[in-house]
Amino acid sequence: MTSIFLVDDHAVVRAGIRMLLESKTQLHIVGEADSAELALERIPSLSPDIALLDLSLPGMNGIELARNLRQLLPKLRMIALSMHEDTEYVQGFLEAGGSGYVPKSSLETQLLDAISAVSRGEYYAPTKLLAELAREMASPDPYKNAHLTDREKDVVKFIAQGCTYKEIAGLLGISEKTVATYRERAAEKLGVKTRAELVRWALEHDLMA
């Protein structure tokens, strides 16, 4: 019997996943949480085999949650449930200690396969994402000599975490226009144009903590 803890802030999503997993007698959901903070309270005492973590949680996000859980429970296997199908999120979650990555658009077709794979000690992600990630990781680091100010790093970090300009402005106490300016300066210094490239830099320079 494989014990599973489910973390997602949407009750409907949790209900759907619970129905899917409970159809398999070898899987047992031992607990649920709708936030990372609540998950950190409940998971250590339950010691499940696998934690299913929504990445887009209110407050602490799923990648930060995974990093905290890895410190508390080194043997816990974690699978991300994400609406994002971008390699930077896959890499960020794996670097935080995760073992699997399932897009929410493919839960019905891929979640059970992911659980089986990580239960065997393997890693799981859609083939397309793994192939893209392998290509990106094989590329040289074009940002080696870039130097950002602390405020520019803050803006890049929050962008990498999926925050909007409005949310970043509130967190840093500045205007949205100023956020955009810092983002443009950082992108110019790094020689990048896309959000994905900014996220990659944040991941490779430990800004997601």
Domains of the chain in start order, with CATH, are: 2-137 (3.40.50.2300), 150-204 (1.10.10.10)
Helix (H) or strand (E) segment spanning residue 2: strand 2-7
Instruction: Say if residue 78's pLDDT is above 90.
Output: yes
The pTM of the full predicted model, rounded to 2 decimals, is 0.65
Per cent of the chain over pLDDT 90 is 40
- At 142-195, the pLDDT tens digits run 555 467 788 888 898 888 877 888 999 999 999 989 999 899 888 888 888 777
Question: Residue 50 corresponds to which tokens in the numbers above?
Answer: 């696998």
pLDDT at 23: 85
pLDDT at 145: 47
Sign of the Cα pseudo-torsion (156, 62, 69, 141, in order): negative
* Average pLDDT score over residue span 18-46: 93
Number of neighbouring beta carbons within 10 Å of residue 66: 26
Question: Residue 197 corresponds to which tokens in the numbers above?
Answer: 């490239």
Instruction: Say if residue 43's pLDDT is above 90.
Output: yes
CA atoms within a 13 Å half-sphere pointing along the CA-CB vector of 5: 26
